[in-house]
Structure 1
Amino acid sequence: MNPSNKMMIVYICYLLTALLAIGQIVRLQFFSDYKDQLDAIVYRTIDIPAYRGSILGYDGRVLANTVPFYEIRIDCSVPGDDMLNRNLNGLSLALSRFFGDRSATAYEKEILQARVEKKPGYRNLPLGNRLVSHDELQEIRGFPIFDQGQYRGGLIATQKEKRIYPYGRLAYRTIGYISQDEQSGVGIEYAYNAYLKGHPGKQRVRRRSGDDKWVPISSRPEVAPKNGIDIVTTIDISIQGAAESALREQLSKDSTFEGATAVVMEVSTGAIRAIVNMKKMKSGSYDETFNYAISESTNPGSTFKLATLIALLEDGYVRLSDSVDTGRNGWRYYGKTFTEAGGSYGTISVQQAFEKSSNVAFARLAVDKYGNREKQFINRLYNMKLNERLNIELIGEGRAQIPFPGEPGWSRLSLPMIAMGYEMKLTPLHVLTFYNAIANNGRMVTPYFIESFMQHGRVMEQFEHTPLSGTLCTPSTLKAVHRALRGVVEHGTASRINDPRYSISGKTGTAQIAYDGGFVHNGYRKHQASFVGFFPSEDPKYSMIVILYSSPTRGNFYGASWAAPVFKKIADHIYITNPFWNAPLEAPRKVS
């Protein structure tokens, strides 16, 4: 091959190489996403969290809010050698005393080693074993070296948000919580998360060389975060505290208890002023870990006899003065003997049967009056809205269940059992809502937990709550059941909480709870003891329900002895602290 041909081949190779290089440059310049890839390595856009809204009591006191806490770090490259030599010992000693997690010598060694060896992260070295509050941060800023500020002392304080509850576990199950991924939770925190969390902002940041730390490009965010809305609840912290204290005191008296709940409702509005839920933990203590009030559907027992009495009165089948024979040894019907908890009563009036909570009387009256009209009785109960959802704001409402004749499971015993509060399921809040309607001149209102939304101290939305239905019964029936409920406290099963200083009306209840497929296991039974009512009787302001749940026991368990005293203690607190009663509640006099 002659030299000219060789030169031509070399020339063509160079030309092809040049063309390929030019083509690559053009591709990278106009058709490649390398700039985006480079930007992704050096720059990114991050979310700026919005401040989560607070949850407030109805008087504005904080039940839950987000406050800034700080993670403490040091940029080991910032302090000068002279400053470090003179003051590192003092800084290490201060950190050791403040955090208490390691010795001053260990702190000094860690900071020096990171500075000398320039290990990854030496410009962002974590200090301490926890986040610190704003006041604690101010104290740390006074430590040796750190007192020179961020740019001479190297102090880095990274703000973090932390949810705190100033009143501890008070109403915790109702206030609630939400998981980090927002996929699970309970209470107001979870149900109203969309309002509380706000909307995050956007911030452009770049990777800082040397420590892989991302720092803002500008002091101003691209999009400012929009903070969450504050939620004003119906909770009265004073009543809530008194209810929890009274319930805890009662629970401490016997190891049989498995859990308990107490709910206080404002009669005219349905506002929940207190809601306490106590579940026994493995340690033997009690905590707000299950919302019995809204979720626990059980046989209500004798508190349901009020609904049976209303049905009988409304249909004109009885008057309070009518007599009913309860027998001497109970009453047998379709293979079941109905007996009394407190012995035989013989022939008594309907008023007395209600005051004594006679099982035989109400089972027998139901059969005598509705034996051939079972649907009429159940429809009467349905007309009282007893089988309907309350549609409260919180997630987890238990289902109300009252069977209808002809449905699977209905038997000849269903009628008398339902009349006594069995073969059905209601939550405590369902029962309270029903009694509250009687206190509210027969008008049923929806129980509610949220008063308003606020932002920057200004009301954004005020919620109005309307009645669920018209009146539950006629004025004459309403007058009669008021007299019957007052009689329970004056003369009947709840007479021990009768107080001449202010009047209480209500009904005791005791019910067995099925467990492991039955009611009785080797003589052991589970019970719930309840008392539900309202006060003052003449012009009701508050209604309340108290229920205590037992673990399996062979002992007796009655609403009059366990639930009613709790009701009275909470009512006493309201009596003392509310302005609609003028007379102070005097302490019992000591007998000398």
Structure 2
Amino acid sequence: MKKQHSIQYLMKSRSILLFIIFILLFIFLGYRIVYINIIDDQQYKQSVLAQQINNLTDTNNQIIPKRGSIVDNKGIPLAESYKIYNVIFDPAVIIQHKQETIDYTLKLLGDTLEDVTIEHLSKLLVDRKRSHYELIAKELTYTEIQPIDEALKKGLIKGVAFEEQYKRIYPYNTLASDVIGFLRSDGEGLWGIEKTYNTYLSGTIGRRFGSVDGQNRFNQEDIVANTGYNVELNLDFTIQTYIEEAIRRFYETEEALSVRVVVMNPQNGKILGMASYPNFDLNNPYNMSHLLDEEALNAMTTQEKSDFLNTLWRNGSISKSYEPGSTFKPFTFAMTLEEYILDPHKHDFLCNGYKVAYQGQAPIYCWKRTGHGHQTIYEAMSNSCNVAFMDMGEAIGREFFYTYQRMFGFGAVTNIDLFGEESFRDLVYSYNQLNPVEIQTSAFGQGFQVTPMQLIAGFSSLINGGYLYEPQLMRRIVSEDGLLIVDNKPKLQRKVISEEVSFETSTALRHVVDEGTGQGAKVEGYSIGGKTGTAEKGNRETKDYIVSFIGFSPVVSPEIVTLVVVDDPVGVDVNSRYAARIFKDIMENVLPYLRVTKEYEAEVPEVTHTTEVVVEGAEVVEDNIEENVEDPID
């Protein structure tokens, strides 16, 4: 009995021990479950979040922000982004639902999405049944996915989600193409305003973190993306359109390698319009078929195509140089008056058609080989007389000429807020290089080079009272809700000449248009001042020219200045009238648009009859007698 009692006691003790162990095990497991689900959960989430934040370069989890818009000075969008959607199919989720839900989901997707079939989706349910991510359609508008979205919200379909992205569009295709620029494939600005203000436009990238729980439910946590700022330009859509239409009309009847136009407010440096041709489609910037035929494209190497496109995309008004020719003469005129080197009311300039700048040197000819005879300084400007301006350059001398050339901004960047500006400092004579011949040829715009932007910025100081401003494209930067981020005030660089000399220069430039070489730029009813320019390019023996015209209105307190540069025009009458014609075409539209006050009302003559004149057998006679043939009118 005693032994039996001992055995029973032992078994009872073991049972109690096992029970205690079981209870302790249960308590321990319960504690671990509570710890993992409550205490450790926050640490785990923080650990995962920290790991994800350290991997911000993982583009799969990025939330791309909406890029800010680029608009003109009245808010017209020139570049904007709109939302697009990718459709994601989740086989692992949908197969858990009833067959009728699966069938309805597949049918709706097949009926709504182009190129998506029920057969393809059914195959994904078999072949990719564990997948939570199958991209079945991309870059759709909300209208295209609306039926699917509405069905999702009503719970009628399962296993479908959307990815939101943004697509950049340029509503006016080629308008201001080399000003606005475009984006790389990664969404970063590549050229133009898109690159210059990329930091402001691009916004802040967000992050998306997700996990799937034990019930195959997707849990998502987002770090919100911040929308980019909007960039408002000084550029005026209407003025830009007038410019590009004038260039198009020119090309309907003429040929030229390129045309560049810049329109500015001379009182503050604000760029109101800037265009070039050839241009390109911002929505398809790699397309060259509008400029080159298929045979030419096929003959080009990859490097040649790349070089061609980079030249096309680059804004030539800030990155390409040319000899200014006679459009530089107003600068020499102003230097002469500012230093009172010659008495403008008494000095007589004699032009016999040429001048020897330095003893033993070859003669340098005026464009009018027969000479202009005796002239005042104002008549010399109207006649665009090379010899008279050589005399002025000689009188100015190295010290003053070099100083003023730099003060007007030649050989330096203008600091315009546009990517890719070049100074071409090495193409402007240094102080030591300005010998007698170089000074006198520079005085009429030959022997050194400028960019169109340098010329129009410097020229504005000649007519606005003597103030040199930085050219500006950006007006201001604002947030999506209208908060002002950057207010781009006019930036005065320096005072170059006196108001009196500025007035005299403006008056002389009016005479150029009223009675001199710039008469082709007249706009009826308005006071116009301006200067023609013709310069040989490259090898002077080839007789290739760049012709230009720069003009402004009104003459007193000008509100607008316009520069037109035509590179290598083709035709019998190759001279600056080409550029003056484009200038006139632009200003006839822009001046009324800006409500510039007319000086007088143009008289419209009454037409009583018309006469048709027909000339048969007419031909152009080429005369190669050098001494008697005048150079292109300057």
Q: Tell which deviates more after alignment, 271-280 or 151-160.
A: 151-160
Q: Which moved more, 1:170-179 or 1:526-535?
A: 170-179
Counterpart of 2:273 in structure 1 is: 274
User: Offset at 1:80?
Assistant: 5.5
Look up the equivalent residue of 1:395 and give its one-letter code.
F
Tell me, yes or no, if the aligned pair for 2:513 and 2:521 is still in contact at 8 Å.
yes
The aligned counterpart of 2:393 is 366
Query: Quick one: distance in 2 between partners of 1:328 and 1:205?
Result: 83
Tell me the residue number matched to 1:134. Answer: 142
Gaps in structure 1 of 5+ consecutive residues:
1-34
Where in structure 2 are the equivalents of 1:308-327 lying within 5 Å?
A: 308-318=332-342, 319=344, 322-327=347-352
For the pair 1:557 / 2:557, whether they are aligned, the reply is no
Aligned partner of 2:561 among 515, 518, 543: 543
RMSD (CA atoms):
3.8
Q: Name the SS for the 1:185 alignment partner.
A: coil
TM-aligned CA distance change 1:207 to 1:339, over 3 Å: farther
Letter in 2 for 1:133: T
| Correspondence for 1:570 among 586, 605, 614 | 586
Give the distance between the partners of 1:244 and 1:444, measured in 2 at CA: 27
Unaligned runs of 5+ in 2: 1-42, 54-60, 281-287, 293-308, 611-634
- Structure 1 position 361, deviation (Å): 2.5
Displacement of 1:231: 1.8
Identify the residue that residue 462 of structure 1 maps to in structure 2: 487
Matched, 1:52 2:67: yes
Amino acid at match of 1:132: L
Match of 2:455 in 1: 431
- Higher strand share goes to which structure? 1
TM-score of the two chains, using structure 1 as the length reference: 0.78
Which amino acid counterpart does residue 505 of structure 1 have in structure 2?
Answer: G
- The residue aligned with 1:254 is 254
Q: How many residues align?
A: 526
118 and 390 in structure 1: CA distance in 2 versus 1, 3 angstrom threshold: closer
Whichever residue aligns with residue 189 of structure 1, its letter is: E
> 1:311·1:377 contact (CA, 8 Å) conserved in 2?
yes
Q: Pick closer, same or farther for the CA change 1:496–1:224 going to 2, 3 Å.
A: same
Counterpart for residue 450 of structure 1: 474
Q: 1:427 to 1:86 in 2, by over 3 A?
A: closer
Do the aligned partners of 1:277 and 1:289 also contact (CA within 8 Å) in 2? no
Report what 1:263 is aligned to: 262
Q: 1:74 to 1:151 in 2, by over 3 A?
A: farther
| Larger Rg over CA atoms | 2
- How many Å apart are 1:258 and its aligned residue? 2.0
Contact kept in structure 1, 2:507 and 2:555, CA below 8 Å: no
What secondary structure does 1:485 align onto? Answer: helix
Question: Would the aligned equivalents of 1:331 and 1:360 in 2 still touch at CA under 8 Å?
Answer: no
Paired residue secondary structure (1:206) = strand
| CA shift in 2, pair 1:58/1:209, >3 Å | farther
1:415 corresponds in structure 2 to 439
Q: CA deviation at 1:47?
A: 3.7
1:7 matched residue in structure 2: none
1:27 alignment partner in structure 2: none
Q: Whole-Å Cα distance in 1 between the matches of residues 384 and 147 of structure 2?
A: 65
1:217-296 to structure 2, matched below 5 A, reads 217-218=219-220, 221=222, 223-255=223-255, 257-279=256-278, 283=289, 285=291, 289-296=313-320
8 Å CA contact retained: 1:300, 1:425: yes
- Post-superposition offset of 1:580: 4.2
Letter in 1 for 2:393: A
Indicate which of 163, 168, 184 corresponds to 1:158.
Answer: 163
> Matches of 1:138 and 1:513 in 2, distance apart?
60
- What does 1:458-537 correspond to in 2, within 5 Å? 458-470=483-495, 472-514=496-538, 519-520=539-540, 524-537=542-555
| AA partner of residue 234 (structure 1) | N
Match of 1:70 in 2: 85
User: In 1, Cα distance between the equivalents of 2:412 and 2:120?
Assistant: 65
Per-residue deviation, 1:328: 4.4
Cα displacement (A) at 1:464? 2.0
Distance 1:589 1:204 in 2: 78
TM-superposed deviation, 1:423: 2.2
Distance 1:275 1:322, change over 3 A: same
Structure 2 distance, partners of 1:166, 1:280, is 15
1:86 to partner: Cα distance: 7.6
**Separation in 2, partners of 1:192, 1:432:** 23
Residues 505-552 of structure 1, C-alpha deviation per residue, up to 9 Å, x if partnerless?
Answer: 1111111222xxxx14xx53432211112111123111111112127x
The letter for the 2-side match of 1:346 is H
SS in 2 for 1:579: coil
Q: How many angstroms apart in 1 are the aligned matches of 2:601 and 2:139?
A: 47
Distance 1:573 1:67, change over 3 A: same
Paired with 2:317 and 2:214, the residues of 1 have a C-alpha distance of 57
For 1:124, the equivalent position in structure 2 comes to: 134
Deviation at 1:305, TM superposition (A): 0.8
Letter of the structure 1 residue corresponding to residue 584 of structure 2: K
SS of the residue corresponding to residue 177 of structure 1 reads coil
Instruction: Tell me, yes or no, if the aligned pair for 2:235 and 2:272 is still in contact at 8 Å.
Output: yes
Distance between the aligned counterparts of 1:428 and 1:209, measured in 2?
68
Contact 1:266 1:542 in 2 (8 A): yes
Q: Give, in whole Å, the separation in 1 of the partners of 2:463 and 2:147.
A: 56
Q: Secondary structure at the match of 2:542?
A: coil
Give me the whole-angstrom Cα distance separating, in 2, the residues matched to 1:200 and 1:136.
Answer: 26
Counterpart of 1:376 in structure 2 is 400
Amino acid at match of 2:172: Y
2:68–2:201 contact (8 Å) kept in structure 1: yes
Change (3 A) 1:192 1:576: same
Decide whether aligned partners of structure 1 residues 314 and 70 sit closer, same or farther in structure 2, where only a CA change above 3 A counts: same
User: How far apart, CA to CA, are the structure 1 residues paired with 2:271 and 2:328?
Assistant: 21
Letter matched to residue 439 of structure 2? L
Question: Identity of paired residues, percent?
Answer: 22
Cα pair distance change 1:328/1:173, threshold 3 Å: closer
Output the CA distance in 1 between the equivalents of 2:504 and 2:188.
50
Paired with 1:294 and 1:586, the residues of 2 have a C-alpha distance of 41
Does the CA-based 8 Å contact 2:332-2:392 persist in structure 1?
no
Question: How far did 1:234 drift?
Answer: 0.9
Aligned positions of 1:152-231 closer than 5 A: 152=157, 154-180=159-185, 185-206=190-211, 217-218=219-220, 221=222, 223-231=223-231
Cα pair 1:199 1:227 within 8 Å, conserved: yes
Residues 357 and 440, structure 2, Cα contact 8 Å, conserved in 1: no
